[in-house]
Structure 1
Amino acid sequence: MMPPRPSLPKRLLDRLRYMAFRALLAGLSVLPFSPRVRAFGWLTVHVIAPLAGYRRRVRRNLSMVWPDMGGAERQALTSRTLDNFGRTVMENFCHADLGRHLQGTALEGDGLATLEKARRDKRPVLFVSAHFGNHEVPRHLLAAQGDRIGGIYRPFTNPHFDDHYRRTLASVGGTVFVQGREGTVGFARYLQGGGWGILFYDLHQPRGDVLDFMGLPARTATSAAKLALKYDAALVPWFGIRQPDGLRFRAIIEAPIPPDDPVTMTRVLHARLEARIADHPEQWMWVHRRWKSHEKALRTGVPLLRD
């Protein structure tokens, strides 16, 4: 069954927002890549995030996770988070420039030996990552050495942004599967055939298991672990960690998650991400409503029971 067509005002508003964004990209395109990235980070902090409500959302998330954090520290961390968010958006929409910028960046980490063995054995690899630093950096570097990384992505509600970003993902290398039943089946077949793919595990999943994340209960998808177990795929976390200059990256391929039951494996993934956030708290995208069910539980007084 096809979803209902949006109303005419909604379609017009979506188009106007996309046209405004494209006009902004065109205006910034006169700048070299690095100043362009810095400029969009600044615009996100001072203009886009306040208008979109992102600053308020980041502060709310930080106050839930670290209630004892001082107001000035929370404000500063919010600004640094939004700067990373804006830089990442610009980098990923200007994917060709990002690819050239990353030339000379090396993949590193304990998981590289796992990838080499998987290539020899033609074994599927399921990468798992979070919206941390720039999560697309390792994909660029793997694509540059000939690896194809497919993935499922969550469509934008604005179809113009969605079409643009889907083409961006496909151009980096790998088949793009849209979130939903058909996309999930296609992605599963892709892994079954020995493909390499990527899933993200740090977004709110309405029907997910309730697992601790950053000390709070969060509904979490365990599908990555389930798929890895079903298709004997190595479950390998990656991270693109932004460096202090705000422009360079370390691309880390971590050691694979040992096979276990899906909930235990996902808890290990949470622990890996929590360790990265402890080192670089501004690099996780606190703009997401990760604890949406927990917030509802606080409002209603009905506790969210952990699995």
Structure 2
Amino acid sequence: MFGLLALLVNILPYPLILKAGRQLGAFSKRFAKKRVHIATRNFELAFPEKSPEEVRQLVDENLKNTGAALMETGIAWFWPTWRLKRILIDKDTQVVRKHGENGKGVLLCCVHALNLEITARACAVIGLSGYGVYRPHKNPAYEFIQYRGRTRNGNKLIYRRDLKRMIRILRQGHRLFYLPDQDYGHNKSVFVPFFAVENACTTTGTSILAYTSRCAIVPGSGFRNDAGKYEIIADQSIEENYPQKDEVAAAAYMNKYMEAIIMRAPEQWMWIHKRFKSNPDSSLNHQRYL
């Protein structure tokens, strides 16, 4: 399957690759009823002011982009660098580059955009390589291809539970890609507002890393624009006012920036994930999706 994906993305023109992915996503709506329900509930919870028709349109577009994400993974893992450069725009990354010149570690906080694989490699292609947090795949063949794809152009990977190494590489002045926008369960998490949900389970990992390493904190994104190009943006360094010693305040502070990033292209975020599955009372987990 990976061989077929690599073949398709390398022989087809980019507009056709993107169109095929979006059509695949639209077709999947007939069979992925559970994912359609999750995405619909997420939009309803996050944006209660939207009408059922507006929610339906957002879900449809999100599913199309979910299908495109398969092709985008193929692009990120199998395209040659010269071809990838053609669809990248280094829109604003001067803040990150300045920290690098000063030898300061950067916690580059991104979101679970559906095109995340392209964003990660794109950063390396434009000279902003870093360390990604990941979970190895159980299948050795899949793991080999995934690891190779995610470490192209100088990126490196860190096991997601290796907190000590994350702190060490930040103290050494490197960049660490970190995604604090999902629901990772009750462990090392607090409940703070995220969009219209007042008690959204949010990781405290950001404050732990920032407090122990004294790194810079920069929100970043790489969404696809209307012309089909990916805009790499990392234009704010927010550590100065970040309440590192207060985990609850820090999580709420970071969520505001994550919301702002997602709203750059909300239809391209991973709404098919149960972002609001956890409740303060764990016995009520998943109640929002019934």
TM-score by length of 1: 0.78
The aligned residue for residue 244 of structure 1 is 226
CA contact (8 A) 1:139 1:172 kept: no
**Superposed counterparts of 1:259-278, under 5 Å:** 259-261=242-244, 262-278=247-263
The aligned residue for residue 15 of structure 1 is none
Shift of 1:156: 5.0
**Superposed counterparts of 1:1-307, under 5 Å:** 19=1, 22-23=3-4, 26=7, 30-47=11-28, 50-51=31-32, 53-95=34-76, 96-97=78-79, 99=81, 100-103=83-86, 105-109=88-92, 112=94, 114-132=95-113, 134-156=115-137, 160-180=141-161, 183-206=162-185, 207=187, 208-216=189-197, 217-245=199-227, 247-257=228-238, 258=240, 259-261=242-244, 262-294=247-279, 299=284
Local SS of the residue matching 1:146: coil
Structure 2 residues not aligned, in runs of 5+: none
More displaced 10-residue stretch of structure 1: 252-261 or 88-97: 88-97
Letter in 1 for 2:200: A
CA contact (8 A) 1:219 1:293 kept: yes
Letter in 2 for 1:103: R
Shift of 1:201: 0.6
Structure 1 residues not aligned, in runs of 5+: 1-18
Shift of 1:235: 0.6
Local SS of the residue matching 2:218: strand
CA 43–260 in structure 1, closer or farther in 2 if over 3 Å, else same = same
CA 189–295 in structure 1, closer or farther in 2 if over 3 Å, else same = closer
Separation in 2, partners of 1:161, 1:274: 32
Matched residues, number: 279
Shift of 1:133: 5.8
CA contact (8 A) 1:133 1:239 kept: no
Separation in 2, partners of 1:118, 1:280: 27
The CA RMSD over aligned residues, in Å, is: 3.1
CA contact (8 A) 1:133 1:242 kept: no
Identity %: 23
Deviations 1:88-137 (A, max 9, x none): 3321232243852333744233x62x323322321111100101363345
CA 173–157 in structure 1, closer or farther in 2 if over 3 Å, else same = same
Letter in 2 for 1:185: K
Separation in 2, partners of 1:49, 1:236: 39
Local SS of the residue matching 1:254: coil
CA contact (8 A) 2:9 2:71 kept: no
Deviations 1:10-57 (A, max 9, x none): xxxxxxxxx4x6546545654223311220121022127833732222
Local SS of the residue matching 1:250: strand
CA contact (8 A) 1:29 1:36 kept: no
